[in-house]
Amino acid sequence: MGTIRLDIVTVERELFSDDVDMVVAPGSEGVMGILSNHVPLLTSLNVGELVVHKKGQEDIIFAIGDGFMDVQPCHVTILADVAEQANEINMERAKAAHDKAEKAIASGSLSAGKLRRAEASLKRASLRMKVAEKYGK
C-alpha cells in the first residue's frame, strides 16, 4: 500500500501538507476512508473529526467544519470552512463560542437565518470541545 498526498486548506491558511497512508473524513453521506489509488471523487464534508494515519506515527486529528474534499489517485485536497488540529484547539475559546451560540438559540429571538448560523456555530464549538478533550495534549 502506497502513500497519498494530503493538503488541508482553510480560508485562513494551509493547515497541513504531507504524504500519508490514509485519510478518514466526515463525508456528507457518512465517514469515508481514503487510501492511495482511490477512484477520483468530489464530495462535501460535514462538521466532524478528520483522522490522518501515517505509518509509524500517532494519528493526527483535526476538527473540521463543513467543506469539500477532492480525491485523486495520488492526492487529496480538503477545502474546509474551518479546521484545527486537536492539539491547537483553545478550549476556552471553544467553550465561549459554545456558550454564546447556546445563549443566542435559547433567546428565541433570532431570525431563521441567524438561527441556522447559531446552530452551526454551536455544532462546530461542540465538536472542537469534544476533539480537544479526547485528543488534545
Tell me yes or no: is domain 89-135 CATH 2.30.30: no
Residue 68 buriedness (CB in 10 A; 0-12 / 13-18 / 19+): middle
**Domain residue ranges of the chain, discontinuous segments joined by +:** 4-86, 89-135
For 35-53, the pLDDT digits (tens) are 999 999 999 999 999 999 9
Look at 23 and 114; give whichever has higher pLDDT: 23
CATH of 4-86, one of 3.30.360.10, 3.40.710.10, 3.30.70.380, 2.60.15.10: 2.60.15.10
Cα 65 from chain centroid (whole Å): 5
| pLDDT score recorded for residue 135 | 76
Span 66-107, pLDDT tens digits: 899 999 999 999 999 889 998 888 888 888 888 888 888 888
